A = this chain, B = another copy of it.
Amino acid sequence: MRAIIFNVGNELLRGIFLNSNLQELSKILLKSGIPVEKNIVLPDDENLIAEEIQNYLGKIDLLVITGGLGPTHDDVTKEAIASALNLELVFSETLYDSLKEKFKKYNIPETENLKKYALIPKGFEILNNPRGIAPGLKTVVNNTTIILLPGPPAEAKEILSGFLQELEKANYYWNYIRTFGLKENEILEKCKEELDAVDSGLYPDIRGVDIFLGSKNASLLEQTSQRVVSKLGKNVYGIGTKNIEEIIGEKLRKRKLTLSTAESCTGGLLGNLITNVSGSSDYFMGGVVSYSNEAKIKILNVPEEIIRNYGAVSKECAYHMAENVKSLFETDFGISITGIAGPTGGTPQKPVGLVFIGIATKEVAYVFKRIFGGTRIEIKMKSALESLYLLNLILEGTTFPENTFKV
């Protein structure tokens, strides 16, 4: 099945929003075995949209169009499709009656322009929108199935999922192997044979390099995945789509272990990542954001002379932060992060990007020194992720004798 996604909206072409719909919808299409072949982002311009629809009619199997179904003057997608297919827009009384309930629910004063929601290109099927107002719309023309979806990603995703459940699934299997600490190039050198054996792609981002493997042959995919995992060893932190905060969360919960955090340069990001996982209160007790030296001394009991002698960005300070937050919250693990996120505040001895990560366990405390590149926000993110990857290795039984910190 050949599929294309159109996203309509000036905001996407003006850099105001990221195109989340492309990501969300292509992900669920792929899960249903429908790889997206192309994506086109169009402005709120009736003629341009109509022209582009005509370009693809009869040439592809599925055309998914998001955005421009609302009531405002720049919502013109329904007008464009009516013009491309030479159809009238008709007002649906039944639809409007059901929408009235929603206006009440969402506390939207009923104004004249809302009637636009109930205009539909003649003959289109209405797809209910459980999360918002504008319904999805569907038709088939010249063997091309056209689906119109509202712009908000959560709504678009839910309506499309409903449609996909009705489609027969195609037989395509895929997998992600998630790595950190390796460059794209190194993976390519180590696993060339495996990457050539199936559909493959390497996708580096701040979380590491994800390896996509896909094939119509399930057992070939399984064998290839296993070979890649065994070649890359400890640099693989997960298989599938779970991220590192979910992976450590599962391990902590299973073993009834608890965690607390002492954050300086990350300012709360580590706690935020950990608590993005539902149910994290089972193992995450909390933390201290000790952004000032006073907070490190007063709340985390870091000895004043440690900061005076070594500075707040030092392995000594990271050690005390990790140990003391562990004691303060009475947890099994304490993670600390102290560093220089920049762009200012660096010195030749302690440059921007220098970060110390402390991990205190019941038996031992480790301190790791890292120098990260990038913007302030990237350095914060790399620091928080690195601490989670390290904790994951420790939970897997890895020891770091050279990083053991002794007072």
Residues of A within 8 A of B (CB): 10-20, 22-28, 30, 35-44, 48, 70-74, 108-109, 111, 113-114, 154, 176, 183-186, 188-189, 195-196, 200-203, 205, 210, 212, 261, 263, 265-272, 274-276, 278-281, 284-292, 294-295, 298-299, 328-330, 341-344, 374-377, 380
Contact = CB atoms under 8 A, between A and B. Distances in A.
A15 B11 contact: no
A176 to B, nearest CB: 8
Nearest to A264: B286
Contact of A36 (B13, B185, B189, B376): B13
A72 B281 contact: no
B20 A26 contact: no
B12 A39 contact: yes
Contacts of A270: 268
Given A15-B24, A18-B20, A285-B292, 11 more contacts: A14-B26, A18-B22, A38-B41, A38-B42, A38-B48, A275-B291, A281-B292, A284-B291, A286-B289, A295-B329, A299-B329
A102 to B, nearest CB: 13
B19 A25 contact: no
Interface of chain A: mostly helix, strand, loop or mixed: mixed
Contact of A272 (B39, B43, B269, B281): B269
A72 B215 CA distance: 20
Contact of A37 (B15, B43, B279): B43
A268 B260 CA distance: 12
A253 to B, nearest CB: 14
Nearest to A214: B14
